[in-house]
Structure 1
């Protein structure tokens, strides 16, 4: 796969994801290829959506430095300096309550974090320049993550960040539409296709009609779409809530100043189950409150462990342990959860039946959102010729079963490529009328 400098960047597609980000180029030959990143001699197509800030002494003062992607994870794991590690920060995009976070001496709004992340990506992309590209197409969810997402706010923040990097004219396209363009390259017949894109923070669905004209050129018509702020991170949160949180003090008791016995407030554990919020607890005052609660707890050990998890930035290891359990349960009826860091050890046997019970409300909301996409398109399930599933959560058996029951196994196809959305976005940029595919403002 090419470096950024190997081909003229006629069209750039950017899939900025909750967990991973992919950038693709499309040239005159009508093919899309992913930009790769050299990390310790390995060419990576996927750039982890993560930031690591650290403080360095420079002369008589201090300087904040930052890395992104796999380089951020590497810097964080080395842990040689005081640092702040952020992941899943895309989840803040549509949150009006998230105004800024303090990192050492500076304050960062969402658009600051996004622009900073993209600068690290461009630095490692060896020559990629958004300002020099005739067309830049950026993916966006059909519905942003969050309890009360403000899509207009999220798009203002996106535009501000991309304008700073020289792409004020970027087009913003629904992520499942990008995936549909990627999939359309494999079609040999006219078809009505439901694309299901499962990311870390959102699940998005788009219904499209693909047909070839008399000259054999593929034409695409978007029929309808819907999205919900539930996906892989929500499933992770269920595991954290059921397996991890009770062992870190959830449901525990403490003695108040008035000598009353009270239950530890649940909002700390809501933060524990959200990777983006967990990263911010260290600078929000929550850590200090946790330490005070631990001193007043009837059993201080679990809350002390929770405080250590936050203070020593152990959340990434927890994230990996949860992801490994989820993956294991996709292939087995039972798996063992194990997380060990510093003096914390959490182990538990988890069955697939347990996991599917925990995520049942989420799966039901995803099913309802599929119905919304079909209704928006004005088609019945029987009229869908093919269902294209993309994203890691599509391999969760309960999700797979949902689509098999509605559409039948024979109509399902899937891709385990992280690149499919970015490829499709880049191809849209090569279309004669790319703005036709831009997301509708709400």
Structure 2
């Protein structure tokens, strides 16, 4: 018997979406009220801070967009945690300490989902129906331990009252979302581009007596997606404006390059905030006194001191989006009340050159999915692209050239995976789709 309601959870590196489906095929994403907006996407982030002092201090937390609000409000000693999905399969990540408490990965995931449930616009009980949770085909990181990641997922959701959760590959969820538009048989390649991972699945769909059937044929994935493209823009346009490539005078009078490791923090905006508490800010201030040209480092210091990283990355992301429709876009960012201002033009051709190594690795992963399915590109009837990165022209060109533009379709719905996972939960044989049983 199918459940009255099934719940699909697309827990992403950058964003998380939850959807509900009923036996009649109706499906809708859960909404979150933030300020004056109803959001269907919940940022995969947590903020922790303390109220009170000493033994009476109480730890508070916020999730999603409310975590960013807390971060920008400047609570003293606040800990901001984002993209922690990246550590799911890392045996090297044992725990992190937040004030007096120790958090393992499963603790962070359970705390995050609890805040999401609290912020949902309507009551949401994970014990009330079948729960289908998405997982990447390949977890990110060096030598990822898939079994460890799944044990951590299971431990977290067990604490949330989910006794029989199913875990399905994220592109399989996207496939079920897409398959509703199919009228006959088709072999489909699904490409899911998230913030931290890109995943690919090949599936065979058919309809018999009005019922959709599907057979999984092959999968692949890699830890490169939209966040990597943003980082390429930051490294190319922003980092030189903040001193990357500059020099300073040593105590002995030698001219030395500025240490590059400070600029690695620019790859994630929240890492800039950590520089205020790690001692890196003081190091930058010391370097600025000996820099051959101190102005760029002073701008870097302003960026960190004034918590401008989030606003900077919003500008970077907007530039990337603009390049999907224009041949040239301008990155213009100005920090209010500071000397930080970046105004640089970037052509689509330059952007495509920057991301060429990433696109090449994505192309290799597509070939791996085809190889695992033992199919040639000509055997694919339809290609379905989902996720914001799928609108990057270089990505669309990759698929159009390999499969033909007439076979490529896409969706701008960030909730397509969660929708598909929820629909999958309505299938009588949903257990067959659990990852690892395909």
- TM-score relative to the length of structure 1: 0.90
Aligned twin of 2:135: 140
Instruction: Assess, with a 3 A threshold, how the Cα gap between structure 1 residues 167 and 296 changes in structure 2: closer, same or farther.
Output: farther
| Contact kept? 1:92, 1:110, Cα under 8 Å | yes
User: Alignment RMSD, CA only?
Assistant: 2.4
How far off is 1:187 after superposition?
A: 0.6
How far off is 1:128 after superposition?
A: 1.1
Q: Give the whole-Å Cα distance in 2 for the aligned partners of 1:24 and 1:58.
A: 40
Q: Give the whole-Å Cα distance in 1 for the aligned partners of 2:307 and 2:146.
A: 31
Q: Give the whole-Å Cα distance in 1 for the aligned partners of 2:306 and 2:83.
A: 19
Q: How does 1:29-428 map to 2 (within 5 A)?
A: 29-57=24-52, 61-79=56-74, 83-125=78-120, 126-130=122-126, 132-213=127-208, 215-256=209-250, 259-275=253-269, 277-278=271-272, 280-341=274-335, 342-428=338-424
Q: Give the whole-Å Cα distance in 1 for the aligned partners of 2:43 and 2:277.
A: 23
| Contact kept? 1:206, 1:225, Cα under 8 Å | yes
1:329-362 superposed Cα distances (whole Å, 9 cap, x missing partner): 1111111111222331122111111111000111
Q: Give the whole-Å Cα distance in 2 for the aligned partners of 1:191 and 1:426.
A: 22
Q: Is the partner of 2:132 in helix, strand or coil?
A: strand
Q: Give the whole-Å Cα distance in 1 for the aligned partners of 2:21 and 2:80.
A: 33
| Contact kept? 1:102, 1:283, Cα under 8 Å | no
Deviates more, 1:246-255 or 1:99-108: 99-108
Number of equivalences: 433
| Contact kept? 1:9, 1:25, Cα under 8 Å | no
Q: Is the partner of 2:89 in helix, strand or coil?
A: coil
How far off is 1:94 after superposition?
A: 2.9
| Contact kept? 1:152, 1:441, Cα under 8 Å | no
How far off is 1:441 after superposition?
A: 8.7
Deviates more, 1:427-436 or 1:136-145: 427-436
- TM-score relative to the length of structure 2: 0.91
Deviates more, 1:304-313 or 1:393-402: 304-313
Q: Give the whole-Å Cα distance in 2 for the aligned partners of 1:230 and 1:281.
A: 25
Q: Give the whole-Å Cα distance in 1 for the aligned partners of 2:228 and 2:434.
A: 27
Instruction: Assess, with a 3 A threshold, how the Cα gap between structure 1 residues 412 and 70 changes in structure 2: closer, same or farther.
Output: same
How far off is 1:381 after superposition?
A: 0.4
Q: Give the whole-Å Cα distance in 2 for the aligned partners of 1:100 and 1:302.
A: 36
| Contact kept? 2:72, 2:307, Cα under 8 Å | no
Q: Give the whole-Å Cα distance in 2 for the aligned partners of 1:85 and 1:361.
A: 31
Q: Give the whole-Å Cα distance in 1 for the aligned partners of 2:26 and 2:15.
A: 22
Deviates more, 1:16-25 or 1:337-346: 337-346
| Contact kept? 2:9, 2:134, Cα under 8 Å | yes
Q: Is the partner of 1:330 in helix, strand or coil?
A: coil
1:388-435 superposed Cα distances (whole Å, 9 cap, x missing partner): 010000000110111111111111111111111001111122222222
How far off is 1:40 after superposition?
A: 3.1
1:213-259 superposed Cα distances (whole Å, 9 cap, x missing partner): 2x231100110010011110010110011111112221122344555
Q: Give the whole-Å Cα distance in 2 for the aligned partners of 1:96 and 1:296.
A: 41
| Contact kept? 1:86, 1:279, Cα under 8 Å | no
